[in-house]
Amino acid sequence: MHPIPSRRRWIGLACAALCAAPLAWASGYPDKPVKLVVPYPPGGPTDIVARVVAQKLQEQMGQPFVVDNRPGAGANIGAEAVARSTPDGYTLVVATTAHAINPSLFARLNYSITKDFAPVSQLTSGPLVIVTSPATPVSNVKELIALAKSKPGGLNYASSGNGQSTHLSAELFSAMAGVKMAHVPYKGSAPALTDVMGGQADLMFDTMLSSMPHVKAGKLKALAVTSGQRSPSAPDIPTVAESGLPGYEAIAWNGLLAPAGTPPEVVNRLSAELKKVLENPEVRQRFEAQGFSATWNTPAAYASFLQAEVDKWDKVVKTSGAKID
């Protein structure tokens, strides 16, 4: 047989194999357990979201999705570990609003949220809720702004910590409303809410998960939610924008990131599987019970959202002067 056709045939087969490789890689993924790093302690809102998603991905993809809690340093320890991991789709991180805030807040970070990760999809979005003691003499956002303007710096607001979304959402509010309020940071939502209920702090921008049980029990008064639309979990509570401060929006969100360099075929496979998870009625109901909405988007759309969040919170951090060394 003449050698040239044989060589051509071999080259053709090799090319076909190479072209099919990415497809085979994606269809064969995952063939071992996948680690979902949660940069917060067990039991919190992000951990709850991660465990629901992990369970459903495991059911759909036939391999264990294992939640690995790595809290600390403002959610940076877990994020940095994933940024430095092998980019093969087997180590992922559940990111939050804090990861969009941290580039501006921390003087030194050992990773870049926009350069060291491949965005997969958002998972949830949800508002904070402005709560006050029932004794505070305001019942809506307009009255809160008027009270704050009547005594500059005289109102104080609690937060779950310096630089957290519960802090910077209030700073965004103050900047847009043209008011000054004193910030009192706490180590977590629970002690902060205790002082709001007791009248030691005037108000707080807090997650619905931790604050709404106290609202329902009559121990706190809810003025407004911080999202652009009313929350399905509490449709009677107006938004900040509709009740006194047009244009205001601040949401808490979770999303899934892979290390930069993860093959696009794997990222797209994960994104497609997440779309099924987040359209599942059971998942949507479970998230709504926590005050979240299930939110899917494409990797490109999530990348754009992430950059917009980084830019937005950069301005708020600079205005507030918040900094962590």
Give 70-97 pLDDT, tens digit per residue.
998 889 999 999 999 999 999 999 999 9
CA dihedral over 224, 228, 230, 233, signed as positive or negative: negative
Burial (CB count within 10 angstroms: exposed 0-12, middle 13-18, buried 19+), residue 321: exposed
Predicted confidence (pLDDT) at residue 232 exceeds the cutoff of 50: yes
Give the residue among 244, 242, 222, 245 at the shortest CA–CA distance from 234. Answer: 222
Check residue 314 and give its pLDDT. Answer: 94
Average pLDDT over residues 166-173: 94
Residue 262 makes CB contacts below 8 A (sequence gap 6+) with 87, 88, 89, 118
- Per-residue pLDDT band for 236 (boundaries 50, 70, 90) equals very high
Please give the mean pLDDT across all residues of the chain. Answer: 90
Average pLDDT over residues 197-214: 93
- DSSP annotation of 300: H
Burial (CB count within 10 angstroms: exposed 0-12, middle 13-18, buried 19+), residue 23: exposed
- Enumerate long-range contacts of 186-194, CB under 8 Å, 24 or more apart: 186/158, 186/159, 186/160, 186/161, 187/160, 187/161, 188/160, 188/161, 189/160, 192/158, 192/159, 192/160, 192/166, 193/131, 193/158, 193/220
**Residues 257-295: pLDDT tens digits?**
999 999 999 999 999 999 999 999 999 999 988 888 999
Give the residue among 90, 114, 117 at the shortest CA–CA distance from 104. Answer: 114
Predicted confidence (pLDDT) at residue 14 exceeds the cutoff of 70: no
**Domains along the chain with CATH numbers:** 29-126+252-320 (3.40.190.150), 127-225 (3.40.190.10)
Check residue 319 and give its pLDDT. Answer: 86
Check residue 299 and give its pLDDT. Answer: 98
Distance CA 281, CA 283 (A): 5
Phi, psi of 116 (to 5 degrees): -100, 10
- Enumerate long-range contacts of 191-194, CB under 8 Å, 24 or more apart: 192/158, 192/159, 192/160, 192/166, 193/131, 193/158, 193/220
- Per-residue pLDDT band for 69 (boundaries 50, 70, 90) equals very high
Distance CA 182, CA 204 (A): 11
- Per-residue pLDDT band for 161 (boundaries 50, 70, 90) equals confident
Task: Name the pTM for this structure.
Answer: 0.82
Average pLDDT over residues 25-35: 85
Give the residue among 70, 32, 30 at the shortest CA–CA distance from 50. Answer: 70
Check residue 54 and give its pLDDT. Answer: 98
